[in-house]
Amino acid sequence: MVTHNNRSLSIAIRPAATELYDKAMDLSTKLSIPLIQRETKEYEFLLICSADGLALQQNGKKGLGPIMISFTSPAMTYRIKHGGDRKQALARAIGLKKGWQPTVIDATGGLGRDGFILACLGCRVHMLERSPVLAVMLEDALQRASQSEFTAEIISNRLQFTHADSSIFLQNLLPEDFPDIIYLDPMYPKRTKSSLVKKEMRILRGLTGDDQDTAALLDMALTRVRNRVVIKRPRLAPVLSSLMPSHQITGKSSRFDVYLI
Ligand SMILES: C[S@@+](CC[C@H](N)C(=O)[O-])C[C@H]1O[C@@H](n2cnc3c(N)ncnc32)[C@H](O)[C@@H]1O
């Protein structure tokens, strides 16, 4: 058992091929998780070190995956081409305008999709994630994307990543470093339909648990930002702060609460 985010996590790392042993060994040391050589169901999660990148698999009854973070996958490319326009709900919530390239702290990095979309829309994004496992997966995906012709420019100029707890990171931020926007997309409360549909989110929930400290994170974010805080919520969920949002942008299953400063 390894403790991550104050939760006991049963996870091991396995190299998918012998030539990846050294890389898997380094990660095993970095994450303080056991290195195993053969497939086993002994651990709830398995981080697979493959030639294509790091993949996460959940074993047991709820067995899911493996999933890999990719900024160059056909699904992501499709989302950028077709959903990456300025009319989409996320872009409207962020308040994107032509010629404005806001700085954004994406304080709940997760699988990096929203942060990457925001970078594709022209924002300068600093993504934060506190889960050590997701952090190495994000770093791995960013490294791969930095070598792809399609994404290299976005990664090197507009997307930065730090493994950190956002509450502590924001608390220590100097006023001159306050971003224009702070974006939050905490793990939805359990059993909402939207959180159950996608296998990626189900694995993520198993790995990180519920984000129960989001109200405090939102309160902190409101004191560390220049223009607005945007928080993604299930469509019918109550607002998370004692403050009412300035406005809301509601989609099919989710909603963006926008707090203008
Ligand atoms: C629902 S996921 C975010 C999904 C992400 N927007 C995406 O597009 O892939 C929520 C993530 O926020 C992370 N998180 C929650 N609170 C955090 C905090 N205080 N600091 C850093 N990461 C946090 C969780 O570990 C989890 O990975």
Q: What is the CATH number of the domain that holds 137?
A: 3.40.50.150
Ligand 1 binding pocket includes 69 (Cβ within 6 Å): no
Return d(Cα 230, Cα 222) in angstroms, integer. 10
The last residue of a domain, from among 37, 67, 97: 67
Q: Are residue 110 and residue 135 in the same domain, yes or no?
A: yes
Query: Would you state the pLDDT for residue 3?
Result: 66
Taking CA atoms only, the protein residue closest to ligand 1 atom 15 is 108
Contacts 24+ apart (CB under 8 A), 59-63: 62/202, 62/206
**What residue type is assigned to position 13 of the chain?**
I
Ligand 1 binding pocket includes 185 (Cβ within 6 Å): yes
Ligand 1 binding pocket includes 211 (Cβ within 6 Å): yes
Query: Would you state the pLDDT for residue 170?
Result: 98
Q: Are residue 174 and residue 214 in the same domain, yes or no?
A: yes
Query: Would you state the pLDDT for residue 253?
Result: 84
Per-residue pLDDT of the chain (261 residues; tens, 9 = 90+): 666 666 678 999 999 999 999 999 999 999 999 999 988 888 999 999 999 999 999 987 767 879 999 999 887 777 767 655 667 899 999 999 988 999 999 999 999 999 999 999 999 999 999 999 999 999 999 999 999 988 999 999 999 999 999 999 999 999 999 999 999 999 976 655 544 457 888 888 888 888 889 999 999 999 999 999 999 999 999 998 888 999 999 988 899 999 999
First to last CA, the chain: 43
The last residue of a domain, from among 51, 67, 83: 67
H or E, element range at 65: strand 64-68
Specify the residue for token string 């790392």: 13
CA-CA distances (angstroms) from residue 73 to 38, 67, 174?
A: 28, 12, 36
Q: Are residue 105 and residue 34 in the same domain, yes or no?
A: no
Structural domain boundaries, residue 35: 2-67
Looking from the CA of residue 184, the nearest atom of ligand 1 is: 6
Q: What is the DSSP letter of 151?
A: T
Q: Are residue 48 and residue 6 in the same domain, yes or no?
A: yes
Ligand 1 binding pocket includes 186 (Cβ within 6 Å): yes
Q: Cis before residue 66, ω within 30 degrees of 0?
A: yes
Looking from the CA of residue 201, the nearest atom of ligand 1 is: 1
Structure tokens at 163: 């493994």
Ligand 1 binding pocket includes 111 (Cβ within 6 Å): yes
pTM: 0.94
**Is the CB of residue 233 less than 8 Å from the CB of residue 254?**
yes
The last residue of a domain, from among 42, 67, 92: 67
Ligand 1 centroid–CA 55 distance in Å is 18
Ligand 1 binding pocket includes 56 (Cβ within 6 Å): no
Q: Are residue 136 and residue 60 in the same domain, yes or no?
A: no
Q: Are residue 36 and residue 81 in the same domain, yes or no?
A: no
What is the length of the chain?
261
Q: Are residue 140 and residue 36 in the same domain, yes or no?
A: no
Ligand 1 binding pocket includes 141 (Cβ within 6 Å): no
Q: What is the DSSP letter of 17?
A: S
Ligand 1 binding pocket includes 70 (Cβ within 6 Å): no
Q: Are residue 150 and residue 59 in the same domain, yes or no?
A: no
Ligand 1 binding pocket includes 104 (Cβ within 6 Å): no
Q: How many domains does the chain have?
A: 2
Ligand 1 centroid–CA 108 distance in Å is 3
Q: Are residue 27 and residue 105 in the same domain, yes or no?
A: no
Q: Are residue 120 and residue 234 in the same domain, yes or no?
A: yes
**DSSP for 161-203, written as a single string:** EEES-HHHHHHT--GGG--SEEEE-PPPPTT-HHHHH-HHHHH
Find how far residue 38's CA is from the centre of its chain.
Answer: 29
Q: Are residue 161 and residue 215 in the same domain, yes or no?
A: yes
Q: 132-145 vs 21-31: helix axis angle to the nearest 10? A: 140
